[in-house]
Chains A and B, each alone.
Chain A
């Protein structure tokens, strides 16, 4: 019995979401002898076999082995081909669980895998525990995490995506994994697998990946300055941008701000926007609607500035200031600039 965990890589290596998914898979309590094989598909597997640092990183997150999948004609990200890779890998061994981070790619590949196999997919899981009857008791997010669902997953192969925004990255105990850092000299076993593809599996393939213009990414910003209806209009955001820039952070906004056209949608924080996980979320003129707060579950600290002391955000924030944004933001910017050590 074993588990597969699909990994994604970007320019900086294996993505943090994938490492969390790997930790999740490794922490699933299962029969002794179960192990997690990390899976890299297509070009994302290039150079991985010789990358000792990558092996150590994966072992530290709980992987017992690494599988590199290739195929003729597979030159980039192709969702159906990636799903075929997982399908054929699962069929080639005694695999009981396939896990991926609930990112665009992870959700997409597992949805295709579910469609190909006709099996259910449990999306945005927070935990999965095997039952004595061969099912899985899962806890998963609904309403982007505002509600949790307890569910029973009945399938010969459990397909799970992991709500990695809501799960902390836990280092895997060094002595729990024979291939892990407990044995620094033991390299992560690497296996190669060739997936058989039809032309139809390669019809959809990412043709281009163009970098966007710079600026701090909202999803990874250490500080997010949020602006809501209380900002009053499109002209009210310049002081927030100035404050965010001063704090080395990014501006995020609530849905009403984007639906009014005051700011572009890429700045939206919430269920249908970006999920943030900053050290500080400074929420300015934001009431704290459920759908907005669903995007802020990963924020370590929240400070609210609002004219309404009874706004729902007050029960989510650590600190609050009752004030008019037009007055306090310029004063705060000036105070930070004029500060002396």
Chain B
């Protein structure tokens, strides 16, 4: 991504990432922070797991620096993994790793790039666990969870028995900055590498496009406070101004009384 626009590779099959750095997506970073907070409160350990190329080890170390205890890389060979294959690989790995038994699996609500919105429920069904998605508040009480999300102006609340799968959204917490000891520990930590088998998905990408979008250039109304009259005029043309506070010019006494303040 350069200058506020996405750049694609020449063949239109992928996003050109040569000029980009990689980071953990916001939903997933919040999932890790939430897991660390839960273990700080209730004990236990946090294992972070990702599916990606060998370089994704760096992102696992970033999350170990936030307080996670163990890292697992499901190493891929650069092919794109669809949600069905990804969920199958994660469920398989959770079975293979066995210990600890992972009473709670937290995932990000949707991948920032491919946006499939389904890995959490697919992992849950494979493991026979209950699942809720889009969660922005999570409370642990004994062997149960209370999870809430927003629905318009309403909070929708769910109660889940453990073990469970919960997909969370950014906003559930504000992730901490890694501490120096955390970084040093993360640097030395051993990462478990598994190589799951790729499988095709019934949804196959044939190409990517950057939408044309509005190619407009803003009309500059002016600089500094001198632009205020023009700005007010534009807001008026767009029909977003409230009724004027006072009546125009001179009129019979009380003529403007109906105008709302």
Residue among A119, A145, A203, A266 having the largest count of chain B Cβ atoms under 10 Å: A203
Report yes or no: A111 in contact with B234, Cβ–Cβ below 8 A.
no
- The yes or no answer to B5 lying at the interface (CB within 8 A) is yes
Contact among A79, A108, A317, A339 with B232 in the assembled complex (CB-CB below 8 Å): A339
Measured CA separation A317–B87 after assembly (Å)? 40
Q: A108-B121, A147-B6 are in contact. Are A123 and B116 (CB under 8 A)?
A: yes
Task: Give the contacts of A212-241 with B (CB-CB under 8 A).
Answer: 212, 217, 219, 222-223
What residues of B have a CB within 8 angstroms of the CB of A331 in the complex? 225, 228
Query: Contact between A121 and B83 (Cβ–Cβ < 8 Å)?
Result: yes
- Pick from B110, B122, B223, B232: contact of A335, CB below 8 A: B232
Do the beta carbons of B117 and A161 come within 8 Å of each other? Answer: yes
Q: Which residues of A from 256 to 297 have beta carbons under 8 Å from B?
A: 258-259, 261, 264-266, 268, 271-273, 279-280, 287-290, 293
Query: Which chain B residues lie closer than 8 Å to A248 at the CB level?
Result: 240, 242
Task: Report yes or no: A217 in contact with B152, Cβ–Cβ below 8 A.
Answer: yes
Q: Do residues A147 and B208 form an inter-chain contact, with CB atoms below 8 A? A: yes
Q: Do A210 and B206 have beta carbons less than 8 Å apart?
A: no
Do B228 and A147 touch (CB < 8 A)?
no
Beta-carbon contact of B120 and A111 below 8 Å: yes
* Chain B interface mostly: mixed
> Which of B40-48, B52-60, B128-136, B187-195 faces chain A?
B128-136
Contact B154 A211 (CB under 8 A): yes
The residue among B87, B209, B217, B225 with the most chain A CB atoms within 10 A of its own CB is B225
B181 in the interface (beta carbon within 8 A): no
B118: contacting residue among A114, A152, A320, CB under 8 A: A114
8 Å CB interface, B233-255 against A? 234-235, 238-249
Q: Which among B1, B121, B153 is the interface contact of A111 at CB below 8 angstroms? A: B121
Within the assembled complex, what's the spacing in Å between the Cα atoms of A100 and B227?
Answer: 45
A150 to B206, CA, bound (A): 5
Task: Report whether A111 and B118 are in contact in the complex, using a CB–CB cutoff of 8 Å.
Answer: yes
Total chain A interface residues with beta-carbon distance under 8 A: 103
Partner of A120, one of B84, B161, B174, B224: B84
Q: Is B203 an interface residue (CB 8 A)?
A: yes
22 A-B interface contacts by CB (under 8 A): A111-B118, A147-B15, A149-B209, A150-B206, A152-B206, A154-B204, A203-B130, A205-B158, A211-B153, A212-B150, A217-B152, A259-B174, A273-B171, A290-B4, A301-B238, A315-B4, A315-B217, A317-B216, A319-B221, A322-B220, A337-B245, A341-B248
Query: Residues of B at under 8 Å CB distance from A?
Result: 1, 3-6, 8, 15, 25-27, 82-84, 87, 110, 112-118, 120-122, 124-126, 130-134, 136, 149-161, 169-171, 174, 201-211, 213-225, 227-229, 231-232, 234-235, 238-249
| New A-B pairs, 8, CB < 8 Å, besides A309-B220, A313-B218, A328-B227 | A114-B121, A116-B125, A120-B83, A120-B202, A203-B130, A272-B171, A322-B223, A338-B245
What are the 7 tightest A-B residue pairs by CB atom distance, in nearest-first order? A312-B4, A265-B171, A120-B202, A111-B118, A320-B218, A115-B125, A317-B218
Spell out A's residues near B (CB within 8 Å): 10, 77, 79, 102, 104-105, 107-108, 110-112, 114-116, 118-124, 138, 141-155, 161, 203-212, 217, 219, 222-223, 246-249, 255, 258-259, 261, 264-266, 268, 271-273, 279-280, 287-290, 293, 301-304, 309, 312-324, 327-328, 331-332, 335-341
